[in-house]
Copies of this chain bind each other. A is one copy, B any other.
Amino acid sequence: MAQVYAARRDRLRERCTAGGSATALVSRPANVRYLAGAAPEGAVLLLGRGEDLLVCADSPAQPGPQSERGRPDEALRVQLLPAIGGDPAVAAADVATAQGAESLAVEEHHLTVARHRAIRSVAPRLRLADLGGAVEQLRVVKDEEEISCLRIGAEIADQALSELLESILVGRTERHLALELERRLVDHGADGPAFETSVATGPNAGRRGHRPTDRRVEEGDFLSVCLGATYRGYRCEIGRTFVIGTSPTDWQIELYDLVFAAQRAGREALMPGVAYRDVDRAARQVLDSAGYANSLPSLTGHGVGLEIDEDPQLAPAAMGKLDACVPVTVEPGVHLPGRGGVRIDDTLVVRPEADGGPELLTITTKELLAL
């Protein structure tokens, strides 16, 4: 693994050198973890002219499960801050100056104005440049090791969901179902939930990002569930909608079939070289043409990895094209105020047609189940 991290840092170094700043300071936690193998709280990575350096706050150790926290690349020098309450970013800028750096590229989309100013005051001669989303861009295409973590996470989420479906649901609250799902994720080996588990019943069903309430499941409800597991830091996502009771009504079947068709269109559009916006359009136009243009969320899907919401965005105004080995969600939905709705959400990996097309990681059935 050490070689993987070193290779990632080398790729970033090339970009930085090409951008005119040989030295970079990475502060966004997921980016630090990607390049260093772990991101202890507050740690920053200095990609230096000399040797690379992970600077950590000298805070009390918080050694959770290794799988969850990651383990720092052993080839990397680790420096602990001597001063309590000091800022590792400031200490790293100090080291950069000592190494003779003239400019330092920082993550302006992550560093606060106050920290930026603190760096400038400790290293006034250092020219501060913007690293922009360079690390986020490197993270878009995953290697097979990363994909295998996502695959295991998806299996765990599938398992937790299938167990829930075997239990009695009527009368239980959204909150309890969400907590039970999270417990099952951990039971099956997840580091933890990949994001706050969403359970939405009745009029809440189909709402993206719905936070569980005390509403209880009732006969006749739509029930939509969205959950994900974190496994070795990698986060996946699955969403399904069910009907409670024996026979879904006509409007429920119709709406479900429509969202299913939109989601399938989105999945089928996932090919290397396809524009992000075209995937979005494939799913969106199915719902649009059925008259739901105003009920649609702003995106159809997004990348996943060390964070649950990564590049790319599959949205109308997104720029760029899919590559092979990019994991994304496809998650269209329709929510009708007062009535509820449907969301169907999978995590897939973009693969060339020669390899069989998109690889579905979340394999729970998408038939409309009546529970």
Interface residues of A (CB under 8 A from B): 59-65, 68-69, 84-85, 106, 108-114, 116-117, 130, 175-176, 179, 182-183, 186, 207-214, 297-298, 315, 317, 335
On whether A175 and B186 interact (CB within 8 A), knowing A65-B213, A109-B112, the answer reads yes
Chain B residues, CB < 8 A from A59: 298
Say yes or no: B62 contacts A210, CB within 8 Å. Answer: yes
Say which residue of B60, B64, B106 sits within 8 Å of A208 (CB atoms). B60
Chain B residues, CB < 8 A from A84: 298, 315, 317
Chain B residues, CB < 8 A from A108: 112-114, 117
On whether A179 and B175 interact (CB within 8 A), knowing A209-B60, A210-B62, A211-B68, the answer reads no
What is the minimal beta-carbon distance from A83 to any residue of chain B, in angstroms? 10
12 new A-B pairs (CB below 8 Å) besides A112-B113, A179-B182?
A60-B209, A62-B207, A62-B210, A63-B211, A64-B213, A85-B315, A106-B113, A108-B113, A108-B114, A113-B113, A176-B183, A183-B183
- Tell me the bound Cα distance from A61 to B211 in angstroms: 10
Residue of B nearest to A132 (CB): B114
What is the minimal beta-carbon distance from A86 to any residue of chain B, in angstroms? 11
Residue of B nearest to A173 (CB): B186
Residue of B nearest to A186 (CB): B175
Say yes or no: A64 contacts B212, CB within 8 Å. Answer: yes
On whether A112 and B114 interact (CB within 8 A), knowing A62-B210, A186-B179, A211-B64, the answer reads no
- Tell me the bound Cα distance from A246 to B287 in angstroms: 65
What is the minimal beta-carbon distance from A68 to any residue of chain B, in angstroms? 7
What is the minimal beta-carbon distance from A21 to any residue of chain B, in angstroms? 15
What is the minimal beta-carbon distance from A134 to any residue of chain B, in angstroms? 13
Q: Can you list 7 A-B pairs with a CB-CB distance of less than 8 A?
A: A60-B335, A65-B213, A84-B317, A85-B315, A109-B113, A110-B112, A113-B113
Say yes or no: A211 contacts B62, CB within 8 Å. Answer: yes
List of 6 A-B pairs having minimum Cβ-Cβ separation, nearest first: A64-B211, A108-B113, A109-B114, A84-B298, A108-B114, A62-B209
Residue of B nearest to A61 (CB): B207
Chain B residues, CB < 8 A from A183: 176, 179, 183
- Tell me the bound Cα distance from A276 to B67 in angstroms: 38
What is the minimal beta-carbon distance from A173 to any residue of chain B, in angstroms? 9
Chain B residues, CB < 8 A from A175: 186
What is the minimal beta-carbon distance from A144 to any residue of chain B, in angstroms? 27
Chain B residues, CB < 8 A from A68: 211
What is the minimal beta-carbon distance from A328 to any residue of chain B, in angstroms? 18
Chain B residues, CB < 8 A from A208: 60
- Tell me the bound Cα distance from A261 to B297 in angstroms: 56
- Tell me the bound Cα distance from A211 to B61 in angstroms: 10
